[in-house]
Amino acid sequence: MKVDLHCHSNVSDGLLPPAEVSRRAADNGVELLALTDHDDVAGLAEARAAAEARGLRFLDGSEVSVSWRDDASFHIVGLGIDPANATLLAGLKSIRDGRDGRAHRIAGELEKCGIHDAYEGAARHAGKASIISRAHFARFLVERRISPDVKSVFDHYLAKGKPGYVPHEWASVEAALGWIAGAGGVAVLAHPLRYRVSRDELRVFLGAFKDLGGQGIEVACGAHSIEEVKECARMARHFGLKASVASDFHGPGESYADLGKAPPLPDDLVPIWHELI
């Protein structure tokens, strides 16, 4: 079965409306899809309807931003969540509520680099302040021809340690795992090798994540090389975590992988979706 359990619509920092994400997934041969917008569930009903109209199975998801220890942040994908769960909705809203102030702080740092009006520019790309993300700033800087593409904006301005980066307090890992479990979902660590932490710190995090009820890890990840997929498979086996498949698609031409185009999953791993469908 062709599976893709991590992608974004324009409800967060993707480029396509939710229904178009589902239709594109269908065109690419995906049979089981989860939409996982950052800190939001507002696109799920539209995406589900379009997916089911094309005969796809659909899982409700969200990618939750969490902070850990001294300014580390991780992304935890909740899958099979009830998108009407009040505690989950309040938790995700609390994260979104922090995004606008952070965006003003990012714009203040970019101003010091001589980049003016970045808040307004990013907000225009985001559509609404509550989901404004670094991806929207990146699109604005590309539009202004300050960098040639989104990736180089991150490399020069927005990644941790770069001049436009600001620390931010997201949800705690405990809170995010509690919301996901309370809404009937399972928690999966997103793109394990795309965080600015050492391998030792990643392993400590994974131990804590598992102890707190985390159940899965993205192994076949669009943002990972074949070697990195193997490394994630070793972590899945070591920590007893189930494996997920994730394009992390954001839009045509902008993402590592298109919908349904994640690398293959090593076949000894336990797929996270087996108990969800």
Q: What is the DSSP letter of 74?
A: E
Among 154, 157, 179, 195, binds ligand AMP (CB under 6 A): 154
Place of tokens 């498949």: 245
Segment interacting with ligand AMP (CB under 6 A) among 20-28, 53-61, 122-130, 147-155 = 147-155
Place of tokens 């795309």: 194
Per-position x/- string for 37-56, each x denoting binding to ligand AMP as judged by CB under 6 A, each - no binding: -x------------------
Among 3, 141, 150, 206, binds ligand AMP (CB under 6 A): 150
Find the helix packing angle between 86-112 and 173-182, rounded to 10°. 140
Helical segments of the chain, H only:
18-27, 44-53, 86-112, 118-126, 134-143, 150-153, 173-182, 199-211, 226-239
Least Å distance, CB 212 to ligand AMP, is 22
Residues β-bridged to residue 35: 60
Among 4, 7, 13, 46, binds ligand AMP (CB under 6 A): 13
Any idea of the CA torsion for 266, 271, 272, 275, to the nearest 10 degrees?
180
Q: What is the DSSP letter of 157?
A: I
Among 37, 46, 248, 258, binds Mn ion (CB under 5 A): 248
Per-position x/- string for 58-97, each x denoting binding to ligand AMP as judged by CB under 6 A, each - no binding: -------x--------------------------------
Among 6, 24, 134, 224, binds ligand AMP (CB under 6 A): 134
Decide which of Mn ion, ligand AMP, none touches 190; Cβ closer than 5 to 8 Å per partner kind: Mn ion
